[in-house]
Amino acid sequence: MGDRFRRGLFNNREFIEDFALKSAHFREQKISLSDVFNRAKTLDTEIRTFVSAHNWHSLTTSIAMYKQAFGIDLPQPSQAIRDGIRQRHDIVHRNGKTLDGDEGSWGLSDIRALKEEIVAFATHIEGLVKHLPVSGSDENKAVENKHPSF
């Protein structure tokens, strides 16, 4: 979800601008008029840093970011995906235990079913984003070339 967002965002200057204008994080920042030109020089880097630091497991915020940047509405993830994210957190951060200390249990069929849900969700996102315009202007190429890791 995050990698696809970055690729879509940094392929079109308009998306970067829309995201900066519509994202509460950037919209709420105040700058003095004397700092406008210096800030404009670092804005792309600030946006990249913000996007890279975002916790993509926070689906509500992630879905809102897609709307802010691209104007598209992503589907709500299934309960199975939401549960899978919570369970992943338990596995990674709590040695497989829930908040209550109960041991988690994941069978192969559960894992395969979750994988199918995730693949369907990711495929849907990919279908929406791949139809977005990619700008070929020199300005966009300069943005892309400045940060080849995305």
Task: For 7-32, write each residue's pLDDT tens digit.
Answer: 899 988 999 999 999 999 998 888 88
Asked if the model's pLDDT at residue 128 lies above 50, the reply is yes
Secondary structure (3-state) at 12: coil
Could you tell me the residue ranges of all domains in the chain?
1-72+134-150, 74-131
Largest CA distance in the chain: 60
Asked if the model's pLDDT at residue 70 lies above 70, the reply is yes
Rounded CA Rg of the chain: 19
Q: What is the pLDDT of residue 147?
A: 41
pTM of the model: 0.77
